[in-house]
Amino acid sequence: MLSDQSQSRHIIIGTAGHVDHGKTELVKRLTGLDTDRLKEEKARGISIELGFAPLLLPGGEQAGIVDVPGHERFIKHMLAGAAGIDLVLLVVAADEGVMPQTREHLEIINLLEIKKGLIIITKKDLVEEEWLLLVEEEVREAVQGTVLEQAPSIAVSSRTGEGIEALLQLIEAAAAEVVEKEIAGKMRLPIDRVFSITGFGTVVTGTLFSGRLKVGDAVEILPEGIMSRVRGIQVHGQKVEVAIAGQRVAVNLTGIETRELKRGSVLLEPGYLQPSYRLDVQLELLTSASRPLKNWTSIRFHQGTKEALGRVVLLENEELAPGDKTYAQLVMEEPVVVARRDRFVIRAYSPMFTIGGGAIIDPNPTKQKRFQPEVLQALAMKEKGTPDELILQHLLSVRSPLVILSELKHQVGLGEDEIKVGLQRLMEENRLVKLPLEGVDYLLHPQVYNQWQEELREILKRYHQEFPLRTGLPREELRSRKFNFLSVKLFNAMLQYWEQNGDISISGQMIALKGHVPKLTERYRLAVDKISQHYQKGRFQPPYWSELKPLLNLNETEAEEVLNYCLQQKLLVKVADDLYLREVDLGEARHFILQHFQQHSTLTISEARDLLGGSRKYILPLLEYFDREKTTRRAGDKRVKF
C-alpha cells in the first residue's frame, strides 16, 4: 500500500465563491456526493462546515475536493478549508455575477498564494448567452492583478451537466502542474474536525501539510502539548497504513478525549514545531481596506485551521496604508503553531472582514524593538535570504553557538532539499565549521569559530609568556577561563578540531600553541644549571629541595616553575615530598638493586645503604619509591623482588 501511494500524486482541490453560487451542487455533480452533511445546512441550503469528497479524474487519478462555505458568517470555515488547497475553483453564478464574498474569497486566495486555479461560471442554463458573456467579462476584471489572472475559465450547468466533462479535463490538466507538498518533510496535520466514533474513540481530520503518517506512529498535538499514538488512518473513507502529504486524512488517536482537542490544533511529528505567542511576519494590507492599519490594532489571525485573536506591532511605521507591505510582529492572545513561510490572513476584529495577510518569517521570535535598523535587516534576510545565508544567520543568532545538524531544518524553517543545497555550498566554500562528536554533527558559524580561535591563541600566547617553562595550559583551566559554556565533551571535540587544523598541540591534559616548547630565560637557565650540579654531586644523597631553593636567587613562584620544568623535562624525578633525584641516578640505583637480587632473595635497608652509599634518611624513601614503582615489594622489614 505504501509503494502505491508513494507513486501517485495527492492533490487537494477547493471551491471558493459567494453563498448560493452553486459550489456544493457543482461538487455533487463532479463527485456524486453531497458534501452538505449537517441538518442546518440542509435546512438553510448553504454550507456551514467544510465538506469533503474524493474526485476521480478522467485519467484515473484521485484527488480530494473541499467544498468551503461562501456565506460571510462562515468565512472562517472557508479559511480553514483553504488550508492545504493546491488548486482552487473560483465559482461565480451566471445569474448574479461577482458578489462581495466572491471578492473576499479571491483576496484570500491571493493572500494565501494558491497559485493554481480555474474560474467556473455556474448556472449557465439560467441565463442567455449575451448575459453570460457580460458575466465572464466581469469576472475577468475582478481577477486582474491576482494569482488567478491567467486562470482558464469555463461555464457549466450542474443541473444539466453541460460543460462538466470539459471541466474535468481542465481540472486534470491544472492538477498535473501543481507542485506537490513535501513528502520527505516532517509530518504536520492541521486539525479541522474532532469527533468520536463508538468503539474507536477520538478521530481528527485534516489535510496532511507535509510528511507522511503511519499507523502506530507517536504524534504530538499542539498547542495542547498532548502525546498520542495513531490507532488507524482513513483516506477518502478507505483504511490505509500510510497517509501521504496532500491527502485528506482521518486519524484515530489513542488515549485522548474529544474535549481535549479542537479545530486549530495541529497533529505533528514530536518535536517538530513549538507553540508561540509572537510571530515575525511580512504583512500586506489589502488595497480594499477601508482605512490604514494602526500600530497595536486588534485583529483576527487565520492560518491553517487556526483562528486566534491578536494585535499587530508595526516595526517600521505607525500605520500601514492600504496596498502597502511592512515587517510586523503579531502578538497573540493564545499560542499558535506555525512554520516559517506559512501564509496567513488577518481579519478586522469587528466588524469581521478580511483586511490583509502575508507570510511567517520567524515562528518563534523574541520581542522585537520597533524602528531598529538591525531588526529590519535581520527580518529582510530571514524573508529573502538564500538557504546558505539563512543557515549562517541562524547560527549567529542562536544562544548556543553549536547547533546540531539534524535539528537545523526545524529551527531555520527550510525544506530538506534547501538545507542540503545550502550546507553543500557552505562546506564547498569553507564558510561553515562542522564538528563531529559521537555520531552527531554540530555546526558553528565561521565568525564565531574565528573569534574562538583568536581568543584561544591569545590566551595560550599570554600563558606561554607568563609561564615559559610550562609545556602548556591545563585543559580544564582553559575551559573554565573562556569556554565553560561548552560541555566537557564538546570542548574536547573542539580541541581535537583545533589540533587537527594545526592550531594547537595537546599533550595529555596540557594545551599549547602549535610549535611551543618550554624556553629557559638566562635566569632560569642559571638556576637549572645549579640544580643539575647539586643533584649530580649528591647522587643518592641529594639536597632536599627546601635546602636548595634559597640558593637559586628566585622567588617562591619562580622556584616552583623551575622545579616543574625539571620534572616535565625529566631532569628530576620526585621520590618523596621535598626529595628528588636525577633520572639517571634513579636508573643506576635500580640497576644496583636488581643486581643484588641475582644473588640474594631479600634486601635489607642496611644492605641497600651499602649498595648505594647513602644514609637511612635517603635510602628508606628511595626503597619506598621502588615499592611504588613495583621494582621491589616489602616483606616485613626486608624487600624482595617484585
Q: Do 276-376 and 188-268 fall under one CATH topology?
A: yes
Query: Looking at the predicted structure, is the pLDDT value of residue 36 above 80?
Result: no
| 634-638 own/partner pairs: CB under 8 Å, 24+ apart | 635/602, 637/604, 637/605, 638/602, 638/603, 638/604
Query: Looking at the predicted structure, is the pLDDT value of residue 152 above 90?
Result: yes
Query: Looking at the predicted structure, is the pLDDT value of residue 37 above 80?
Result: no
Query: Looking at the predicted structure, is the pLDDT value of residue 271 above 90?
Result: no
pLDDT average, residue stretch 209-235: 95
Query: Looking at the predicted structure, is the pLDDT value of residue 48 above 90?
Result: no
Q: Can you tell me which residue has the cell 494585535?
A: 311
C-beta of residue 612 within 8 angstroms of C-beta of residue 540: yes
Q: Which residues contact 414 (CB under 8 A, 6 or more apart)?
A: 340, 387, 390, 391, 422
Grid cell, residue 173, equals 490538466
d(CA 347, CA 309): 10
Query: Looking at the predicted structure, is the pLDDT value of residue 49 above 60?
Result: no
The CATH code for residues 188-268 is: 2.40.30.10
CATH class of 447-513: mainly alpha
pLDDT-based confidence at residue 6 (cuts at 50, 70, 90):
very low
Query: Looking at the predicted structure, is the pLDDT value of residue 308 above 60?
Result: yes
- The whole-chain average pLDDT of the chain stands at 89
Q: What is the architecture, at CATH level 2, of domain 522-641?
A: Orthogonal Bundle (1.10)
pLDDT average, residue stretch 225-248: 91
Phi, psi at 133, each rounded to 5°: -65, -40
State the pLDDT at residue 43: 46
What are the sequence ranges of the domains in the chain?
2-176, 188-268, 276-376, 385-433, 447-513, 522-641
State the pLDDT at residue 411: 74
d(CA 23, CA 41): 13
Give the pLDDT confidence of 574-611 residue by residue, as tens digits.
999 999 999 999 999 999 999 999 999 999 999 999 99
pLDDT average, residue stretch 622-628: 96
d(CA 101, CA 99): 6
Query: Looking at the predicted structure, is the pLDDT value of residue 38 above 90?
Result: no
pLDDT average, residue stretch 379-404: 88
pLDDT average, residue stretch 534-541: 93
Q: Which residues contact 536 (CB under 8 A, 6 or more apart)?
A: 582
Give the pLDDT confidence of 428-443 residue by residue, as tens digits.
999 999 999 988 999 9
Phi, psi at 626, each rounded to 5°: -65, -30
Query: Looking at the predicted structure, is the pLDDT value of residue 399 above 80?
Result: no
Superfamily of domain 2-176: P-loop containing nucleotide triphosphate hydrolases (3.40.50.300)
Beta-bridged to residue 306, according to DSSP, are 303
Secondary structure percentages of the chain, helix, strand, coil, to 5: 35, 30, 35
Beta-bridged to residue 513, according to DSSP, are 504
pLDDT average, residue stretch 249-272: 93
State the pLDDT at residue 198: 86
- The domain 276-376 is placed in CATH, from the list 2.60.120.460, 2.40.30.10, 3.40.50.720, 3.40.50.970, at 2.40.30.10
pLDDT-based confidence at residue 154 (cuts at 50, 70, 90):
very high
Give the pLDDT confidence of 313-345 residue by residue, as tens digits.
999 999 999 999 999 999 999 999 998 889 999
